[in-house]
Amino acid sequence: MTDRLAQIRHVALDMDGTIYKGSTVFDATHGFLKLLTELGIGHTFLTNNSSKSTRDYLEHLKSFGIRAAADQLYTSTQATIGFLRHERPSVNRLFVLGTASMISELNEAGFIATEDSPQDVPDAVLAGFDTHLTFSRLCRAAWWIKQGKPFFATHPDRVCPTDQPTVWVDCGSICAALKEATGRAPEAIPGKPDARMLQGILRKHSLKPEQLAMVGDRLYTDMLMARNAGAVAVLVLTGETTAAEAAAHSPAPDFVASGLKEFGEKLLRARSIPSGLGGPARPV
């Protein structure tokens, strides 16, 4: 298994639950990113959380002291925009269950967000992680779905990790409510675990699947996407998944680590470099 780690040339990093949780950045994050640079391993930040636009996410990362370029970030909203453009080109008007930040990104991409009105007819319904969801809009989405409008969702996550004493009900749970009300599930969900989120990284960096590691905290999105794309599946236990759930899951992730610090140490050992995040390292 060490040989698999030695082949890694790029890391796709889930965000919430992997490099931070809610408003708290993990202690190992900065050292891990520094280590990747020292090892000559590239990285891309991936997130299913569609509540923020690309611009807002870059600012969010900056607030943690993490500087990233726009081309180092890929969200489920971006994946959905690409899906609609290439596979549903007739869809332009969307009834969106999403935040103002998400809707602004859709607007910038040329899509029109319709109002909560039976007269403002959409081409399709799109569900995202709507942190300001209202009963009226949930009911309107269900009504359009019952009228036969195409139904899409950005991602299937049931809850969003948080460091607050609450449960953040995510897009997958919103879609479950709509399915119960209408009898219809989303026709397409372009975010993780759809392999296209990793296939774009493979093409962009001319990588073979075995040279890419997907690092995340969820079995049913991050690890499944890694499997779907043929990438190395690295589960960290800093978010949703527990050690017991990881041990019982089949197929098992390629690697399970308590967090980024342990995974970084595994990378160092695989490269025959003295261990210790942020310690001596040589570019490879």
List for the chain the helix, strand, coil content (%; round to 5). Answer: 40, 20, 40
Written as tens digits, the pLDDT of the chain (284 aa) is 678 899 999 999 999 899 999 889 999 999 999 999 999 999 999 999 999 999 999 999 999 999 999 999 999 999 999 999 999 999 999 999 999 999 999 999 999 999 999 999 999 999 999 999 999 999 999 999 999 999 999 999 999 878 889 999 999 999 999 999 999 999 999 999 999 889 889 988 999 999 999 999 999 999 999 999 999 999 999 998 999 999 999 999 999 999 999 999 999 999 875 444 444 433 32
Residue 238 to residue 36: CA distance in whole angstroms: 19
Confidence (pLDDT) at 278: 42
CATH number of 88-182: 3.40.50.1000
Fold of 2-48+192-270: Rossmann fold (3.40.50)
Residue 169 to residue 64: CA distance in whole angstroms: 24
Both tokens of 258, joined, read 């308590």
Confidence (pLDDT) at 142: 98
Residue-wise DSSP of 152-183:
EES---SEE--SSSS-EE-HHHHHHHHHHHHS
Confidence (pLDDT) at 163: 80
- Ranges of each domain in the chain: 2-48+192-270, 88-182
Domains 2-48+192-270 and 88-182 share a fold: yes
Closest by CA to 75, choosing from 89, 58, 63, 91, is 58
- DSSP annotation of 26: -
pTM above 0.75, yes or no: yes
